[in-house]
């Protein structure tokens, strides 16, 4: 090797080292830039590149796991029945025995102010629960002894019935002249008529609600 070739090779190494130093200073911090040996700089660059590649691989794995988790979540939301966590709660069954009973009733035919005949019916309702009732959704059905329908009335809903006590409410109810069976109630003896209280819902004074099956 000639002296000129040696000088050229040394300059080439120095230029390479300068480029590496600039690259290291700009990308990986000032501390590595102060390294005097090209071998140390190369080793540092290799170590940094290895770390960066490892981090990129970790980030790639984490991204895939995150994407998979998002897909599973989307499938669970799209199919809630298949997920035990999202299973619908069973609908509570309705009670069959109401807390309010019809303990007495009476009906008579009266002429109203509009000259039409109406039934004046009184109902005695007893609250058998330990809570006061403030609203009742119910009807009273009148039938003969063989079960044939005669007449129905809607119970006035706004009754306060104290716990364990009874109240008597009276109201007038129209008669449909086009339905002859409704007139039977005035013609029949009371003992031949069966009156049934059908309660759909009760609201107590603590705002709890009781619902009942017919």
Output the 3-class SS for the chain: CCHHHHHHHHHHHHHHHHHHHHHHHHHHCHHHHCCCCHHHHHHHHHHHHHHHHHHHHHHHHHHHHHHHHHHHHHHHHHCHHHCHHHCCCCCCCCECCCCEEEEEEEEEEEECCCCCEEEEEEEEEEECCCCCEEEEEEEEEEEECCCCEEEEEECCCCCCECCCCEEEEEEEEECCCCCHHHHHHHHCCHHHEEEEEEEEEEEECCCCEEEECC
Model pTM score: 0.55
Query: What percent of the chain shows pLDDT beyond 70?
Result: 60
- pLDDT for the residue numbered 73: 73
Q: What is the pLDDT of residue 76?
A: 63
pLDDT tens string 97-140: 889 999 999 999 998 777 688 999 999 999 999 999 999 999 99
Question: Predicted confidence band at 169 (pLDDT cuts at 50, 70, 90)?
Answer: very high
pLDDT at 8 over 70: no
What pLDDT was estimated at residue 22? 62
Q: Give the rounded percent of residues in the chain with a pLDDT score beyond 90.
A: 45
So what's the pLDDT on residue 176? 87
For residue 18, is pLDDT > 60? no
Listed range (26-30, 103-107, 161-165, 170-174) with the worst mean pLDDT: 26-30
Per the rule left: phi > 0, alpha: psi between -120 and 50, beta: everything else, 164 is left
Per-residue pLDDT, 75:
66
Question: Which of 167, 103, 93 has its CA nearest to residue 133?
Answer: 167
Higher pLDDT, residue 152 or 95: 152
Pick 20 or 143 by higher pLDDT. 143
Average pLDDT over residues 157-168: 95
Residue with tokens 């309702």: 125
């Amino acid at each position: 090797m000639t002296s000129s070739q040696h000088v050229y090779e040394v300059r080439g190494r120095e230029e390479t080292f300068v480029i590496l130093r600039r690259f290291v200073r700009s990308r990986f911090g000032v501390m590595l830039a102060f390294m005097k040996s090209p071998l140390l700089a190369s080793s540092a660059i290799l170590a940094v590149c290895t770390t960066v590649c490892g981090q990129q691989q970790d980030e790639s794995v984490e991204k895939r796991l995150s994407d998979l988790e998002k897909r599973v979540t989307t499938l669970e939301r799209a199919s809630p029945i298949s997920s035990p966590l999202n299973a619908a709660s069973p609908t509570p069954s309705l009670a069959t025995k109401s807390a309010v009973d019809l303990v007495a009733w009476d009906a008579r035919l009266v002429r109203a102010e509009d000259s039409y005949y109406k039934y004046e019916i009184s109902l005695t309702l007893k609250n058998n629960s330990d809570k006061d009732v403030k609203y009742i959704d119910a009807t009273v059905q009148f039938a003969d002894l063989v079960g044939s329908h005669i007449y129905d009335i809607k119970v006035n809903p706004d009754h306060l019935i104290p716990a364990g006590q009874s109240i008597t409410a009276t109201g007038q109810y129209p008669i449909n002249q086009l339905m002859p069976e409704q007139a039977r109630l005035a013609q029949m003896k009371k003992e031949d008529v069966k009156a049934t209280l059908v309660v759909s819902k009760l609201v107590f004074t603590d705002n709890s609600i009781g619902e009942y099956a017919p």
